[in-house]
Homo-oligomer: A and B are copies of this chain.
Amino acid sequence: MSNTPFELTTIGRVESSLKDLAAAPKQGREGAPDAWLVFEREMVKGLEGLGPGDQVIVLTWLDRAQRDVLRVHPRDDLARPEQGVFSTRSADRPNPIGLHPVEILAIEGNRVRVDQLEALDGTPILDVKPLLRQDQASS
């Protein structure tokens, strides 16, 4: 098996009051603030069809993560035994892609306001997808 590299494109950046990794909540539903997604101008065409009230998944590139880590203490809690990163939502992993389910609050040109986003200010945005019923697989 080859290990071909693929190159990602930054389609925008997060604009948020969250500046500090240590202070950021681990998940959006744990008290994260509303934030702006600021898209590159040439990407605005791709936003057509989205509007306030839509539930979407924002994909980000967690550019402050460590990529050579395969085992972590869940939620950075040293009292919990180490686990493989793929059984956790740690940002540290070979491909640090963040998944953020949010609701769109407003759209103003290339700026999209969303609720409860735990990504830090300046985080690159990779994609936005509508949330499907299939993403909500029951246990």
Interface residues of A (CB under 8 A from B): 1-13, 27-29, 38, 40, 43, 45-50, 54-57, 59, 61, 63, 67, 70-71, 83-89, 93-95, 97, 99, 101-103, 124, 126-132, 134-137, 139
Contact = CB atoms under 8 A, between A and B. Distances in A.
A134 B25 CA distance: 13
Given A95-B59, A127-B95, A83 B48 contact: yes
B1 A5 contact: no
A4 B124 CA distance: 9
Contact of A88 (B4, B55, B61, B130): B130
Contacts of A126: 94-95, 97
A93 B47 CA distance: 11
Given A2-B10, A127-B94, A127-B95, A137 B47 contact: no
A95 B139 contact: no
Given A49-B83, A71-B45, A134 B10 contact: no
B40 A1 contact: yes
A130 B132 CA distance: 17
